[in-house]
Every structure is written in C-alpha cells, then in structure tokens.
Homo-oligomer: A and B are copies of this chain.
Amino acid sequence: MLDAAAAVWAHDFSASLSSIALRADVSRSTLHRYFTDRQALIDALLLDSLARLETADDGSATAVPAMETLEHFLRAGVEMGDRVIFLFADPKRFEGNPHWSSDDGDEEMRALVDRARAEGAIGAGIPTSWALNLYYALLYTAAEVSNQDLPRHVAADLAVQSFRRSVAP
C-alpha cells in the first residue's frame, strides 16, 4: 500500500484514496483498516520514506569529501524513485508535520553544501540556495526520468555529472 501511495502521490498529491487502493489492489475498506486517516497514510509513507533514505545514506561517513557524500546520497535517492519524488516534489508539503524536521529537509544539506564549498568542490559564484535547489531538482528529475526512458543508474550518473559540472568553480 505504501508503494502504491508513493507511486500515485508522486504524480498527484491530491489523488484520492480510492485511486491508491485501486493501485494497491486492495479495497478502500482495507486501506482504511490499516490507515484510519488520510493523514495516517501520509505520515506512514513519510516515515517509511525517510527511514529508507536514512538507510540508503548509511555508507556516507563524514570523513570522505562532502561532494562524495552528496553524490552518494543522490544516487541512493534516485534508486528510491517515487519515494523521493513524494518527499521532495513540494518542499512545503510537510511543513508542520512532526515527523518532518527541518534537519531532514534543509539544515543538514546546507551544511553539506557549505563543507563541499570549503573543500573546493563548489565555486564561490554559486549561491548555496541555488546549489541546494539544483540538487533537489536533479534528484527529482533523475527519479522522474527513471520512470520513463532511462535506466535508473544512467539517470543517476547524469544527475551526478550535472551537479558536479554545474557547481564546479
């Protein structure tokens, strides 16, 4: 059901619960039996997606260059496909949600970008806010393209390449 919700909501967050039940091959009753609320399903999917992101992000020690961490994170994100689209399609989607700390969304990433800049991987002419938005856009786009034409890893490679080139000094 979470997969179905991610798949459907990745493209239209206002989609009805019926469409999700249909996609999940269960009745609406069953869906409601596991998630009392629309909000409950959102929270469950959010939590699950964040957990996967966390897991996927495990291999990134702080010792390695920040740029490699960003790259690793990007690849992991693309691998998650719809989940990542769900998470990052609209930055304000989860505003006020107790499970969505601003740490997840921004602070940690901003710090990473700043570190990458300090390490010389990001040019002085690149504002941090642009680097961040570009990063999420590439993540989103690569995940999106993976649903259409290109194999997942190819899309990930292209996204990584685009990011490196775009922010290079």
Chain A residues close to B by CB (< 8 Å): 11-14, 90, 92, 126-127, 129-130, 133-134, 137-138, 140-141, 144-145, 148-150, 154-155, 158, 161-162, 165-166, 168
Contact = CB atoms under 8 A, between A and B. Distances in A.
A133 B166 CA distance: 16
A166 B137 CA distance: 13
A97 B160 CA distance: 35
Interface of chain A, main secondary structure? helix
A137 B141 CA distance: 7
Given A90-B11, A168-B165, A144 B155 contact: no
19 contacts: A12-B14, A126-B158, A127-B149, A127-B150, A129-B150, A130-B145, A130-B155, A130-B158, A133-B141, A133-B145, A134-B138, A134-B141, A137-B141, A162-B162, A162-B165, A162-B166, A165-B165, A165-B168, A166-B166
